[in-house]
Structure 1
Amino acid sequence: MTRLSVLSVLVLLSLFGLNARGQQTEQWGDQGNGAYRNPVIPSDFSDLDAIRVGNDYYAISSTMQYSPGMAVLHSKDLVNWELLSHVADDLTRISPDLNWDKMNSYGKGIWAGSIRYYNNKFWVYFGTPDDGFFMSSATNPAGPWEPIHQLWKVQGWDDCCSFRDDDGQLYFVATQFGLDPKNGKKYNIHLFKMTPDGKSLIMESDTIIHQSQGSEANKLYKINGLYYHYFSEVNKEGRVMMMERSKSLHGPWEIRQLNHVNAATDKEPNQGGLMQLPNGAWWFFTHHGTGDWEGRAASLLPVTWVDGWPIMGAVGADGIGKMVWSAKKPITSKGNPLRMQTDDAFTSTRLLSQWEWNYQPRSDKWSLTDRRGFLRLHAFQPIDPQNPKKVLLRVGNTITQRSMRTKSNVATVKLDVSGMANGQHAGLTHLSTASYSALGIKQQAGKRYLVYTVNDTDSTGPAINGKTIWLQSSWGFDGINQYFYSTDGKNFTPIGTKTQLVWGSYRGDRLGIFNYNLTADTGLIDVDAFTYRYASEVSK
């Protein structure tokens, strides 16, 4: 493979529409004309890894404290994606702190991991900063996934990846970001052998294959007989993509920087997966490491091999890549493209894949079968009900999905509130640990009122006399939100002030439906329907 000429670089720059801005345009994803724009998913899909299996593409995304955990995505063309499943149904198998009665692990929980396909199974490995490494496998990525298994109980490690060599030997690579007492250094990347079942590390095989300040995002590949270790690293530019290669997993390793970054404009693409298409082309599916209110969005970068190195994005004169914001689609889609799911009429006996609870839910306090066609949420007291501060961060069984950054977004929930009890508060929220807002209904002394909330401040609105209420949130590309309500589902009245959606604890804004009672475990609401309509990829 030869270095590209300057002329070829200029052609690539023109083809990929390179610019020096982040997502300054409302356009995103599939443009319907054979091209796409980054991000391909303008929402919080952090810590991505991705693989190709046949003609299908699968990715995983970290979920922190949300349950079910570790989202699995599916695509046919690397541009249009759907939510397929989750790997971890029960977060208490990781830690009791991830349960509804603890809720003290914001910014923790399920961090980055890897997805691989070998031995006729899909294998997912991931870590948490406090509880160590876990794994699961499945013959079908849509599930069911095996109950998660703890690979190694340890603290201060992250960003792991499994790897199967040609001889069948399994390996495991991960970063020790805490101080290593043996060498007194931080951010040591370790390589281990694993047992044949992939459920244990062979500890005596431990070796360090890289060390520097801020080296994470590990992936292992074998391409054309060479081993490639992908990772990200902090340097004077910011967090950049790096690669080591060697004829042996034990080195020696050559090392090269793969891309340049400008944290203010391209938001540091880094965590991701390298894939070769059936036609031989290579692509990299990645998140942006510096998040905004929508979280760490997902983008797709073309890969050009230069002197045996996979360079991400448009190759510069120095042979190092730069971010691209538009390109020709890698695959021509057939049929209707996949889309991120949002709406739910609650007619299924299982929650649809777009939903994730804030922490492991209390199972006896929600149901899809008690009243068919509704999600029934029973109210119960939050943790420390006498504490008025940030109560929505201590409320169990808040069900959420991701907010999108598009030109227009309208989310509407239809509630039956006839089962509410005194002391109960239920409604629609935009949730972040940095700031949150809500529009809900409170019942006191047998009467119900609309209540608009910003963080710890409630503002009481009009009385609600009927049993059905529609609550709505609307926001645009700037993430400035306005709430509305309706008593007939047709005419909506604005209420409260506009608020800015925000990012907090490594998470983008979440839409949520909440329900709690400060005084007793009593009362319920029935969620009749939820709709969330976001602007199409091509901004009109």
Structure 2
Amino acid sequence: MKNIVLLLLMNISILCPLAAQMSWTADNGNGTFTNPLFYDEFSDPDIIRVGEDFYMAGTTMHCMPGLVVLHSKDLVNWKFLSYAFNRLDMGDEFRLANGKEAYGQGVWAPCIRYHEGKFYIFSNINGHGMQVFISDNPAGPWEHKNMGGNIYDLSVLFDDNDKIYAVYKYDEVKMIEIKPDFSGYVEGSERVIIPAGNAMGEGHHIYKIKGKYYIISADYSPMGRMQCARADKIEGPYETAAISVKETLGTERVHWTGNVGLGSSIPEMGFKFKISKPFKDNMGCATLHQGGIVDLPNGDWWGVSMLDFRAVGRTTCLSPVTWEDGWPYFGLPGNLGRSPRTWIKPAVNVKVEPHAPYQRNDNFNGKTLLPVWQWNHEPDHSKWSLTKGKLRLYTLPAKDFLRAKNTLTQRGIGPISSATVTLDASHLKDGDIAGIGLLNIPYAWLGISRINKNLIIRWYDQANDKWMEASSKPSSSQPVYLRITGNFDEDTAWFSYSLDGKTFTNIGDSVLMPYQLKTFQGTRYA
């Protein structure tokens, strides 16, 4: 197909406490920080320190490129460093091919480690086993090895005896030894180290601290919390304690799409959604859970963990860690298990200017896309290009928005943000649609369609299966400006358009952005 769409500019504006900023930063500029570290999704965080540098890895699900690595000098201000891979050659589902999809699948709960001059990221890829990515430099490139096995929600320890262990599984915690060349697992080494029923959950993080073994995990039943197990030997026996409980940092539970979950098929247009209202008296899985701990050069300890932040999805929070009776509690002396929303920054010997982790606006003048972008599944690389400050997206057939290949996304940013695209639709042919959308289930979009040779501005809301056409008729010779404004603390968004780039007209109703477990992500601009 030769039909093309030209996206000239992507502009993201974020309304946040510091008006001069173009994006949220947790650093308040006065020696304190305010959670979350990023007001956009960063789930399942794992963290390490190498010298005076901190590195963090997080889940990226079905998005490409994947397995993101961030870098920081002070634990508060982070910068994008690398992705561990650009693509996964693991079947049609990762390419939205032949009716298959990988929503909510792919990379889950990575573990980042450093050992003898090399960086490692371990992660389960659902249905394909444990993967390891290895590099001499955390900025990449990364070597990929598929180790297979049913090793999930894992953490890895390079022990003092030169053995490498992985702990994994939900509730019943297992351990297995990894071969030193990462070609597989040591035969006969698998064993249960914590039997089921001991309140251990998932998303494990294992450490050896002052001769003792610690495993931190998250348990969502009966409510989200962080649990810690410790033992003198890696095989146990372990004793356990809750180290963070009932911490929501003041957030309510999200709007929830109750009838769309993992394993569900993609909802068709006209699907009847069951969407719950948020309620304040049930903490559910929204509480602080699943994360790791790290020490500072001065001996202080800090922890990262994730918290459901409404339409944004799961985002990362930073907590001081207090050791008491040999347990690493998240929180402060006298208030163990509860993390402050605002607190004093970690004591490191470096001054860092407040900054956001990504540059979000893109004029497409570079040779590559900015790293803030991720494709929804693996794209068809023959059907897009960057040329002279323009992103060209070639049209591809799709049944609906969720099945459309070459959809480029950014995470939604809270508390309130807007995304604007400048669109040249002059090359659209009859039946083509291009525009800006909210990638979620239910989804919504605002685009340009060519119907009977005429360009038409159209809006669609899947939650209510509702269409609307604008009265304004764009000209093929002029660009059209499309905008989404999202209030991610209220789970609502609205669309607008402009023919001159100055005056914007709202179209359609406000759109609800509920959280759901099919994509297992917050709402994304697309």
Q: TM-score range by the shorter chain?
A: 0.7 to 0.9
Does 2:446 align with 1:444? no
Within 5 A, what are the aligned runs for 1:26-37? 29-37=26-34
Q: Provide the C-alpha distance between the structure 2 equivalents of 1:340 and 1:422, rounded to a whole number of angstroms.
A: 40
1:516-527 paired onto structure 2 within 5 Å: none
Q: What is the percent sequence identity of the aligned residues?
A: 32
Contact 2:96 2:102 in 1 (8 A): no
What corresponds to 1:487 in structure 2?
499
Instruction: For residue 222 of structure 1, report the CA deviation from its aligned partner.
Output: 1.0
Q: Is the 8 A contact 1:162 1:172 kept in 2?
A: yes
Match of 2:473 in 1: 463
2:213 corresponds to 1:227: yes
* 8 Å Cα contact 1:49/1:61 also seen in 2: yes
Q: Which whole-Å CA distance do the structure 1 matches of 2:100 and 2:372 have between them? A: 21
Q: How has the CA–CA distance of structure 1 residues 162 and 426 changed in structure 2, closer, same or farther, with 3 Å as cutoff?
A: same
Deviations 1:59-85 (A, max 9, x none): 111111111122212222111222322
What is the alpha-carbon distance in structure 2 between the residues aligned to residue 61 and residue 121 of structure 1? Answer: 19
Q: Distance in 2 between matches of 1:262 and 1:322?
A: 6
- Tell me by how many angstroms 1:233 deviates: 2.5
Q: Is the 8 A contact 2:293 2:301 kept in 1?
A: yes
Q: Which of 260, 268, 274 is residue 293 of structure 2 equivalent to?
A: 274
Q: Which of 129, 142, 146 pairs up with 1:145? A: 142
Residues 272/262 of structure 1: CA separation in 2 closer, same or farther (3 Å cut) = closer
| Equivalent-residue separation in structure 2 for 1:28 and 1:503 (angstroms) | 23
Q: Does 1:376 align with 2:356?
A: no
1:388-420 residue CA offsets vs partner (Å, 9 max, x unmatched): xxx1111111000101112x3121111222221
Partner of 2:266: none
Residue identity in the other structure for 1:443: R
Q: How does 1:337-348 map to 2 (within 5 A)?
A: 337-341=354-358, 342-348=360-366
- What does residue range 387-406 of structure 1 map to in structure 2 within 5 Å? 391-406=400-415
- How far apart are 1:273 and its partner, in Å? 1.8
- Looking at structure 2, the residues matched to 103 and 48 of structure 1 have their Cα atoms a distance apart, in angstroms, of 28
Equivalent residue, structure 1, for 2:314: 296
The SS at the match of 1:459 is strand
CA RMSD in angstroms comes to 2.2
User: SS of the residue aligned with 1:111?
Assistant: strand
Q: Which residue of 2 aligns with 1:307?
A: 325
Deviations, residues 109-131 of structure 1 (Å, cap 9, x unaligned): 21112001112111001113322
- Are the counterparts in 2 of residues 303 and 311 from structure 1 also a CA contact under 8 Å? yes
Aligned match of 1:251:
236
The secondary structure found in structure 1 opposite 2:89 is helix
Please state if 1:284 is matched with 2:303.
yes
Residue aligning to 2:422: 414
CA displacement at 1:479 relative to structure 2: 3.6
The answer as to 2:312 corresponding to 1:326 is no
Q: Secondary structure at the match of 2:60?
A: coil
Query: What secondary structure does 1:293 align onto?
Result: helix
1:412-432 deviation line (CA, Å, top 9, x unaligned): 111222221111100000111
In the alignment, is residue 208 of structure 1 matched against residue 192 of structure 2? Answer: yes
The Cα offsets for residues 306-347 of structure 1, whole Å up to 9 and x where unpaired, read as 111111113457xx4123211101146625333132111112
Q: Given that residues 212 and 233 in structure 2 are in contact (C-alpha distance below 8 angstroms), is that contact kept between their aligned partners in structure 1?
A: yes
Partner SS, residue 97 of structure 1: helix
Q: CA separation in 1, counterparts of 2:93 and 2:370?
A: 25
Query: 2:168 pairs with 171, 174, 177, which one?
Result: 174
- Determine if contact 1:56/1:76 at 8 Å carries over to the other structure: yes
Q: Structure 1, residues 417-452: CA drift from partner, whole Å, max 9, x if none? A: 22211111000001112x111111001222111111
Give the aligned residue type for 1:445: N
Residue 259 of structure 2 aligns with which residue? none
The unaligned stretches of length 5 or more in structure 1 are: 1-24, 178-186, 386-390, 513-540
Aligned to 1:515: none
CA distance in 2, matches of 1:508, 1:340: 18
Report what 1:424 is aligned to: 432
Query: Are 1:115 and 1:124, in contact at CA under 8 Å, matched by a contact in 2?
Result: yes
Q: Would you say the 8 A contact 1:346–1:374 is kept in 2?
A: yes
Q: Residues 126 and 196 from structure 1, CA distance in 2 versus in 1: closer, same or farther, beyond 3 angstroms?
A: same
Q: Secondary structure at the match of 1:92?
A: coil
Contact 1:315–1:321 (CA under 8 A) maintained in structure 2 = no
Task: For residues 353-386 of structure 1, give each alpha carbon's deviation from its aligned partner in whole angstroms, at most 9, with x where no partner exists.
Answer: 1111111111111112xx232211100101xx3x
1:159-198 equivalent positions in 2, closer than 5 A: 159-175=153-169, 177=170, 187-198=171-182
Q: 2:310·2:515 contact (CA, 8 Å) conserved in 1? A: yes
Flag structure 2 segments of 5+ consecutive residues without an equivalent.
Answer: 1-16, 19-23, 249-281
Q: Distance in 2 between matches of 1:351 and 1:125?
A: 26
SS at match of 1:98: helix
Amino acid at match of 2:245: H
Aligned partners of 2:175 and 2:192 also within 8 Å:
yes
Aligned to 1:454: 461
Q: Secondary structure at the match of 2:382?
A: helix
Residues 240 and 270, structure 1, Cα contact 8 Å, conserved in 2? yes
Partner residue of 1:117 out of 111, 114, 124? 114
8 Å CA contact retained: 1:192, 1:207: yes
* 1:45 correspondence with 2:59: no
Contact 2:154–2:166 (CA under 8 A) maintained in structure 1: yes
Aligned mates of 1:96, 1:203 — CA distance in 2:
32
Instruction: Tell me the distance in 1 between the aligned counterparts of 2:185 and 2:354.
Output: 41
TM-score (norm. length: structure 1): 0.81
The TM-score normalised by the length of structure 2 is 0.83
Assess, with a 3 A threshold, how the Cα gap between structure 1 residues 158 and 309 changes in structure 2: closer, same or farther: same
1:28-86 Cα shifts (integer Å, max 9, x gaps): 72111111111121221111111112222111111111111222122221112223221
**In 2: Cα distance, 1:221 partner to 1:480 partner:** 41
Contact 2:39 2:414 survives alignment (8 Å): yes
Residue 468 of structure 1: CA displacement?
A: 1.2
> Residue 261 of structure 1 contacts residue 323 of structure 1 at CA under 8 Å; is this kept in 2?
no
Letter in 2 for 1:97: E
Whole-angstrom CA distance in 1 between matches of 2:189 and 2:182 = 15
- Cα offset, 1:91, TM superposition: 2.2
CA distance in structure 1 between the partners assigned to 2:231 and 2:211 by the alignment: 9
Equivalent residue letter for 1:350:
T
Whether contact under 8 Å (1:100, 1:397) holds in the other structure is: no
Residue matched to 1:184: none
Matched residues in 1 for 2:216 and 2:411: separation? Answer: 28
Counterparts in 2 of 1:374 and 1:396: CA distance versus 1, 3 Å = same
Contact 1:170 1:198 in 2 (8 A): no
Distance 1:464 1:49, change over 3 A: same
Distance 1:296 1:125 in 2: 20
